[in-house]
Amino acid sequence: MRTIIALVFLFVFSSCAFAQTTEERLENLEKTLKKQEQTIQELKALQKTVKKQEQTIDEQRKLIEKLTAKTQKPQPSAAVSTAPTAQAASTEKVQHEVEELKDQVNSVLEAQQKKLPSEFNPAIGVVGETIFSYRNKGSNATGSDRPGGWDVNQRSVELNIAASVDPFAKGYAVLNASADPITGEATLGVEEAAIQTTSLPCNLELKAGRFFGEFGRLAYIHDHELPFVNRPMVLDQYIGGESRTDGAQLNYLLPIEHYVSLTMGVGDGFGSAPNDINDNSNGNFRNFGGLSFFGRGSTSFDLTPDLSLEPGISGLLNPETINRGGVLALPNGDPVTLPQFPGSRLSQTGRSLEGVDLTLSWKPLQNNQFKSIIWGTEVLRSDSSFDVMPTTGGAAFSPFSQSVESYGMYSYLTYKWSREWSAGFLFECMEDSWNNADKTVAYSPYITWATSHWNQLRLQYTHTDHNAVSGLRPDDAVYLQWAWIIGSHAHGWQQR
């Protein structure tokens, strides 16, 4: 019985509870309905506004046509002779009214034009680059930072961001997740992040932050934009890869009728190695000469409408790098040793670089997107000074300083015969920057298939030859590069 009474109570109370819930639901439904009614009314009001705007545009258009017709209608000659001043004033007034109305219509039309949802965001793009390769010798024989045999290298994943900072400057950043050559682990780094003025007077432009400083023709171009798979050896060793610096650069366009551009810059280090600072702590003090100074001058000559020649000269100076460069190392991480002093260690103390570059371009005006020939050559001279120090277990000798002058160059020719296809040949030779008796020669034919601006496959064969001094062996390698871009991608002045 108790159970039955309990169940009856439970039923009654739960019914009340359900009843309350139903009431609440009804209230909610009523609220929702009211909201929907409001929304419908708002939409109707919006429709009316749009219709009114359309009517206004039509009316204004008709009025313009009417007024324009009036202004174009010839006036009777008698009237002209009797009241020319009054007529001129009247015509001017009508014309003024027409112009005003045109402006009004244009502003309404502009306001109604479709806007992009991303228009307030900076331009953003991502670049990916994968290198599939086979090299027939191991890294001990090639001195490379990549292993021999089969290799897949996700060389970079770049995030590019750019936008105006204000009416006087623009800013950009390139974040790159590069794979570590030894561990293969990708680490995100700031490759570039700089501000650049856009409205300095006197033909000046100032850039500051982390950026690729202007030096030579290809040193400040990102890997995926190179005309071949790998950065030329001489740029890799003499500059340290891309010409990255943390500093400032001032560019000046000469105010003459011929194109001459001059650039000077100062930075903390230049290139990724070997002059990157790695010891400015513990109270170390840097003299002015401890910074890197660089500059470039370039010009251009239009030999014919289709043929142009662009020569340039560049210079880099690291007057003092004592206690900064540290021990020099090969790309694979092994310390550099002078062959005559086994086990010796080299420490960079200063360097200067001079370069001359020349680019000859044949780009027929009519179909330059389908046909072109580009020949580019760059010659570099490196003057590198370093201390040679003994190490325990190595050859015994007193530390001494040495200065080495070395030369290196690369030259390439690329022929494009359709929008999708191009092929070329790269020749390189180089003396080692700390031992000029160590010489390397390489050549690389390559072929590129670009399905579009944003999707490109490149096949390259490279034969590298070292002389006996290097202790390295000749090797052959085949590379397949696949580079792609999504999002925004600007066609920069440097990539022309």
Partner 1 sequence: MKLKLIHLFSIVTLAGVLLYGIPMQAHAAKIRVVTTLTDLADFTREVGGDLVEVHSLATGVEDTHGVPMKPSFVPIMNRADLLVLVGFDCEHAFLPALLEASKNPRIQLGKSGYVDASKGIVPKDVPKSTDHYQGDVHPYGNPHYMLDPVLAKTAIGNIYNALVEFAPQHQMELTRNRDAYLAKLDAKIAEWKKEIIPLKGVKFVSYHEHWTYFAERFGMVYFGTIELKPGIDPTPRHIEELIASMKAEHVSIVLREPQFPEKVPRQIAEQTGATLVTLPIMPGGIPNTETYIKMEDEIIRGLLAAQQARKTAHAMK
Interface with partner 1 includes 363 (CB under 8 A)? yes
Interface with partner 1 includes 84 (CB under 8 A)? no
Interface with partner 1 includes 91 (CB under 8 A)? no
Length of the chain counted residue by residue: 496
Interface with partner 1 includes 268 (CB under 8 A)? no
Interface with partner 1 includes 256 (CB under 8 A)? yes
Judged by CB under 8 A, the residue of 40, 152, 165, 204 near partner 1 is 204
- Rounded to whole angstroms, the Cα distance separating 267 from 176 reads 21
Bridging pattern class, strands 301-302 and 204-212: unpaired
Interface with partner 1 includes 98 (CB under 8 A)? no
Interface with partner 1 includes 9 (CB under 8 A)? no
Q: How far is the CB of 388 from partner 1 (least distance, A)?
A: 19
Contact 424, 228 (CB under 8 A): yes
Interface with partner 1 includes 283 (CB under 8 A)? no
Interface with partner 1 includes 453 (CB under 8 A)? yes
Site string for partner 1, 105-144 (x = CB under 8 A): xx--xx--xx-x-x--------------------------
Footprint (CB under 8 A) of partner 1, residues 298-337:
298-300, 302, 305, 308, 310, 315, 317, 319-320
Q: How far is the CB of 254 from partner 1 (least distance, A)?
A: 5
Outline where 73-169 has alpha helix (H).
Answer: 77-82, 84-112, 139-142
Question: Which H/E stretch holds residue 72?
Answer: helix 2-72
Contact 71, 99 (CB under 8 A): no
Q: Which of 360, 361, 278, 351 is nearest to 315 (CA)?
A: 351
Q: Which stretch binds partner 1 (CB under 8 A): 135-143, 212-220, 362-370, 388-396?
A: 362-370
Phi, psi of 324 (to 5 degrees): -120, -50
Interface with partner 1 includes 280 (CB under 8 A)? no
Q: How far is the CB of 352 from partner 1 (least distance, A)?
A: 7
Footprint (CB under 8 A) of partner 1, residues 210-249:
none
Judged by CB under 8 A, the residue of 2, 5, 150, 201 near partner 1 is 201
3-state helix, strand, coil in the chain (%, to 5): 25, 40, 30
Q: How far is the CB of 295 from partner 1 (least distance, A)?
A: 7
- Rounded to whole angstroms, the Cα distance separating 264 from 317 reads 11
- Rounded to whole angstroms, the Cα distance separating 463 from 441 reads 8
Please say which residue, 167 or 393, places its beta carbon nearer to partner 1.
167
> Residue 457 burial (CB < 10 Å; 0-12/13-18/19+)?
middle
Please say which residue, 293 or 412, places its beta carbon nearer to partner 1.
293
Bridging pattern class, strands 307-318 and 204-212: unpaired
Question: Which H/E stretch holds residue 60?
Answer: helix 2-72
Please say which residue, 307 or 413, places its beta carbon nearer to partner 1.
307
Interface with partner 1 includes 369 (CB under 8 A)? yes
- Rounded to whole angstroms, the Cα distance separating 442 from 465 reads 6
Tokens at 206, concatenated: 């100032």
Q: Which stretch binds partner 1 (CB under 8 A): 12-20, 175-183, 197-205, 463-471?
A: 197-205
Site string for partner 1, 407-446 (x = CB under 8 A): -----------xxx--------------------------
Question: What long-range pairs does 460-463 form, CB within 8 A, spacing at least 24?
Answer: 460/228, 460/229, 460/230, 462/229, 462/230
Q: Which residues here bind partner 1, judged by CB under 8 A?
A: 102, 105-106, 109-110, 113-114, 116, 118, 167, 198-205, 251-262, 264, 289, 293, 295, 298-300, 302, 305, 308, 310, 315, 317, 319-320, 350, 352, 363, 365-370, 418-420, 451-454, 486, 490-493, 496
